[in-house]
């Protein structure tokens, strides 16, 4: 049993180690062609659907393509900048799909859904900035990370406040005022 576990651990670590290595130009081209073929196949699957289900499918296919391209670039030319682009592509892809799913809703529920999707994207992108600052090895690294965290927290709080404020719109009168004041206090808005 221990031997099997050790072999499995070795196999997994080798698989991840292989992903960390830069690609050759030929491997890059092959992978790029594969991504394009996968996108076309994914897009073709969407043609059998209709209405918003088709839009969601297309957003998923396009998002998968963008993420795969960003990951390929990060493998081909590893850097903190490319790692951030991967995280940004994932955040944008998730947002685009979530936004399409929100189209199935109406009224305030739709508005809340969109604000929540924006807040999730903002959070992911802010975290990507912090990770990039932490990964860059320069003399001002600690200062850059602290500044990135400060900016990220401000961006996250603002996005989450907007989503919370949108939820308050279903209320009226004193309940709405109380909800909005609670949201302001929770997310540090003035």
Query: 3-class secondary structure for 73-126?
Result: HHHHCCCHHHHHHHHHHHHHHHHHHHHHHHCCCCHHHHHHHHHHHHHHHHHHHH
The percent of residues above 70 in pLDDT, for the chain, comes to 88
Same domain, 109 and 92: no
In angstroms, the first-to-last Cα distance of the chain is 59
Q: Which residues of the chain have pLDDT under 50?
A: 1-20
Is 15 domain-assigned? Answer: no
Range of the domain at 49: 30-97
What pLDDT, on a 0 to 100 scale, did the predictor assign at position 6? 40
Same domain, 92 and 115: no
Domain termination residue (choose one: 79, 97, 115):
97
Is 1 domain-assigned? Answer: no
Same domain, 153 and 135: yes
What pLDDT, on a 0 to 100 scale, did the predictor assign at position 22? 76
Same domain, 124 and 187: yes
Same domain, 113 and 75: no
What pLDDT, on a 0 to 100 scale, did the predictor assign at position 83? 92
Is 2 domain-assigned? Answer: no
Is 154 domain-assigned? Answer: yes
Radius of gyration of the chain (CA): 21
What pLDDT, on a 0 to 100 scale, did the predictor assign at position 148? 84
Same domain, 174 and 155: yes
- Alpha-carbon separation of residue 42 from 76, 83, 92, 142 (angstroms): 24, 25, 18, 43
Same domain, 93 and 136: no
Same domain, 185 and 135: yes
Q: Which helix (H) or strand (E) holds 29?
A: helix 25-46
Same domain, 174 and 110: yes
Residue 171 · residue 159 · CB < 8 Å: no
Please tell me the distance from the alpha carbon of residue 85 to that of residue 69, in angstroms, as a whole number.
Answer: 10
Is 21 domain-assigned? Answer: no
- pTM, to two decimals: 0.75
Same domain, 134 and 186: yes
Same domain, 77 and 112: no
Number of separate domains in the chain: 2
What pLDDT, on a 0 to 100 scale, did the predictor assign at position 21? 61
* Helical packing angle, 173-187 and 141-168, nearest 10°: 170
Residues belonging to the chain:
190
Same domain, 88 and 118: no
């Amino acid at each position: 049993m221990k031997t099997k576990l050790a072999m499995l651990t070795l196999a997994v670590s080798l698989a991840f180690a292989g992903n960390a290595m830069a690609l050759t130009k030929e491997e890059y081209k092959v992978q790029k062609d594969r991504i394009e073929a996968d996108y076309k196949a994914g897009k073709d699957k969407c043609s059998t659907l209709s209405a918003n289900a088709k839009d969601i499918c297309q957003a998923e296919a396009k998002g998968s393509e963008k993420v795969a391209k960003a990951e390929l670039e990060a493998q081909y030319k590893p850097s903190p900048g490319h790692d951030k682009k991967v995280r940004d592509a994932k955040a944008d892809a998730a947002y685009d799909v979530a936004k399409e799913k929100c189209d199935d809703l109406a009224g305030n529920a739709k508005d809340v859904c969109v604000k929540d999707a924006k807040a999730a994207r903002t959070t992911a992108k802010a975290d990507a900035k912090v990770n990039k600052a932490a990964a860059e090895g320069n003399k001002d690294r600690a200062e850059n990370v602290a500044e990135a965290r400060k900016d990220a927290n401000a961006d996250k709080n603002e996005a989450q406040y907007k989503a919370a404020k949108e939820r308050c719109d279903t209320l009226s009168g004193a309940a709405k005022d109380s909800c909005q004041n609670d949201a302001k206090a929770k997310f540090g808005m003035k």
